[in-house]
Amino acid sequence: MRPTLLLVALTLSYFSYSQETPVIFKMTNLKKEAVPYANISILDRTDSLLSFNKIADSTGICNLKLVKNKQYIVTITSINYLPLEKRITFSGNQTIFTFILEAEGKTLEAAVVISRKPLIRQEDDKTIIDPENLAEASTNGYEVIEKTPGLFVDQDGNIYISSLTPATVQINGRDLRMSAADVATMLKSLPPNAISKIEIVRTPFSKI
């Protein structure tokens, strides 16, 4: 039987968390009325992997964190309003951003309810986990890994994939040349929503 390479690949949605600064997004219409429950998509212009989504509250307010001296593409959508896309540069000085949405001017004839992405999906030789739901019940990235189906973490921080051999861990496609304890420490320092995707790969070694 050929040995199997076990790999856990993590895609971080916000790895520069150490420089994050709290900001407020405020959504209003042309009448300066609040636009509640708008969907906000934020993309780092320098790295397409660093993106996340937020939902405004009933008053049109959304609290989030941005990295100083970063450029972002902000896309806002809401029922009965035209989509809005803005490019912003966050210097760290401005803490409130106001976005004005224009009414669509059409009567809503039908509503489409879209379910969340599935927790687990299979692609070729890898299993892809969407950790969004796991992050909601976790306090850091390490807890997200502990709660991921198919993974096991021992008391020393080693990550296993249904095997007695510890898995290799990658961050954004790069191998971590760190001990299991250091990997565990790094994951514990990450906010739970920092991991946007977990890939569990089982790839057999090639014969020599």
User: Which is nearest to 161 in space by CA: 136, 129, 193?
Assistant: 129
- Structure tokens belonging to residue 61: 């307010």
**Residue ranges of the chain with per-residue pLDDT less than 50:** 1-4, 14-18, 205-208
Whether 93 and 140 map to the same domain: the answer is: no
Question: What is the Cα–Cα distance from 26 to 184, expressed in whole angstroms?
Answer: 37
User: Are residues 195 and 120 part of one domain?
Assistant: yes
**The predicted structure's pLDDT at residue 161:** 80
Phi-psi region of 205 (alpha: psi -120 to 50; beta: other; left: phi over 0): beta
Query: Which pLDDT does position 25 carry in this prediction?
Result: 95
In a domain, 110, yes or no: no
The reply to whether 177 and 196 lie within a common domain is yes
8 and 55 both lie in a single domain:
no
Single residue among 50, 74, 101 that ends a domain in this structure? 101
Last residue of a domain, one of 50, 71, 101: 101
Within-domain flag for 111: no
CATH number, domain containing residue 37: 2.60.40.1120
Residues 76, 130, single domain; the answer is no
* Cβ 180 vs Cβ 113: under 8 Å: no
Coil vs helix vs strand at 208: coil
pLDDT of residue 114: 59
Q: Provide the number of structural domains found in the chain.
A: 2
> 196: helix, coil or strand?
strand
Question: Do 200 and 129 share a structural domain?
Answer: yes
Among 76, 101, 126, where does a domain finish? 101
The confidence score (pLDDT) of residue 172 equals 78
pLDDT of 154 reads 84
Which range marks the domain in which residue 193 is found? 4-15+116-204
Are 141 and 176 in contact by the 8 Å Cβ rule? The answer is no
List the Cα angle 173/174/177 in 5-degree steps: 150
- 25 and 9 in a common domain: no
Q: What pLDDT, on the 0 to 100 scale, is given for residue 27?
A: 95
d(CA 186, CA 20): 17
pLDDT for 194 equals: 85
Residue for token digits 């070694």? 205
Instruction: Write down the pTM of the prediction.
Output: 0.46
Clarify whether residues 125 and 78 are in a common domain. Answer: no
* 108 falls within a domain: no
Element (H, E) at 193: none
DSSP string over 166-192: BPEEEETTEE--S-HHHHHHHHHHS-G
Segment 198-207, tens digit of pLDDT: 888 876 544 3
Closest Cα partner for 97 from 111, 113, 80, 84? 84
**pLDDT score for 98:** 95
Residue 106 is assigned to a structural domain of this protein? no
143 and 81, same structural domain?
A: no
